[in-house]
Structure 1
Amino acid sequence: MNAKLSLQHVQKTFTDGDRTLTVLKDVSFDIFPGEFVAIVGPSGSGKSTMLSIAGALLSPSSGKLLLDGKNIADASEKERQLIRLHQIGFIFQSSHLLPYLTVKDQLMLMTRLSKESKKDAEQRAERLLTELGLRHRLHQYPERLSGGERQRVAIARAWMNEPDLILADEPTASLDTERGQHVIEQLAQQVKQQKRAAIMVTHDERMLAYCDRVITLEDGAVS
């Protein structure tokens, strides 16, 4: 089976005046279709930088970043924008829902950006929200949703453009244990059913039981 995402000898450095700071050091790992992988490690270990590189938000200083076998490490900003729109879905610590859009419209916004047929998009939005137990919330605004419901909307939004890769950055940090477990259980289920790949950065060890594998970053390197 070919890897959905592959980091090969990735290094990331930043310049601070006359000092060079190495944040990632020769990081290599593969993520396969249907696999839900957790990234753990202490604060300052490079997790956020690694996630930004995997999400085509940052380019590595050296090494390769392969998405579906294509090296995107040196892609232009325009190319990276298209990759993020069509191939990568993001879930953040805060759901980042727009307060003036209904649940359904949060998802429809993603497809308007990609200029997809409205009819097809509406059908997929309603299917995703039904699968995540939010059918009855289609026309509600974020202020009427619980924290767990808002994160489930964020998951549905991340799936809207049928991305190859889902990246989740501390998605349960603002939730209690029960809601957090429910959100991650549903995310893991979607990954398996759709044979996508997902990476979750987390400090919450209780969520690791839902992951297929755990990668530890320490001082910028896989340990």
Structure 2
Amino acid sequence: MMHQRITMERVLAVMNFTSLFEFLVKVALPVLSASLLSFLVLLVLSFPVWVLALPILGGFGFLFCYPLVRYFAKKNDIESNLHLFITYAGTISTMRINRSVLFRRIASKEVFGEISRIAEKIHYLAKKWSLGFSKTCRKVGNLIPSQAFADFLDRFAVAMDFGQDIEKFLLEEQDAVMDVYELEYKKSLEHIKLIQNLFISLTISTAFMLSISLLLPILMGISFFDVSGGFSKVSKRDCLLM
């Protein structure tokens, strides 16, 4: 899939925060307060210095990792359901429904995960705030974590601006998305084959080394039991000397 530059605005939008101040008040402040309280408790109990640092490091680590985890989780959710969404949208568009019904039907399908919530947001902003579907698609597309879905919304906005038939557009997009997924599927198969070949090579190498270690004493005329017995005798003698 296509990569997208991670920005603070996108990360905050993914977590449903409207500003950095809201994130600091609702997330950062409670986490850092809990970390500081834990630090003071450990300090009173006279724990070692490295233990005292754990709550502070854990708090800052959480504030750094949590937004990124949410960001990539929603990105993966969108891209894993994108082909299902575009297939469904292309199918229901043959019923000659308008834009409002299209987004409302998509929003009602929870199986699409984050895409359904994005469709619900687009429908709400376009109808309740009278922003229009094309403008809303562009605005929302700039804030979602998936570049593939953002590009789709941008193309959809252009199609709506120029009055292109929704059914024709979605059917064309369906073919394009399926081509991308076919390419990604083939890449995944190549990666699996590479891992499989690596595993087979490692297994063969291990079996070869074991075979050599077992056959070498026989080829040299040395019994494996004699060798092991010799080792045990040496061990006993060393123990007696010690």
TM class by shorter chain equals under 0.3
Q: Which has more strand, going by share of residues?
A: 1
Q: Which has more helix, going by share of residues?
A: 2
Instruction: State the structure with bigger RCO (CA 8 A, min sep 6), 1 or 2.
Output: 1
Larger Rg: 2
State TM-score, norm by structure 2.
0.25
State TM-score, norm by structure 1.
0.27
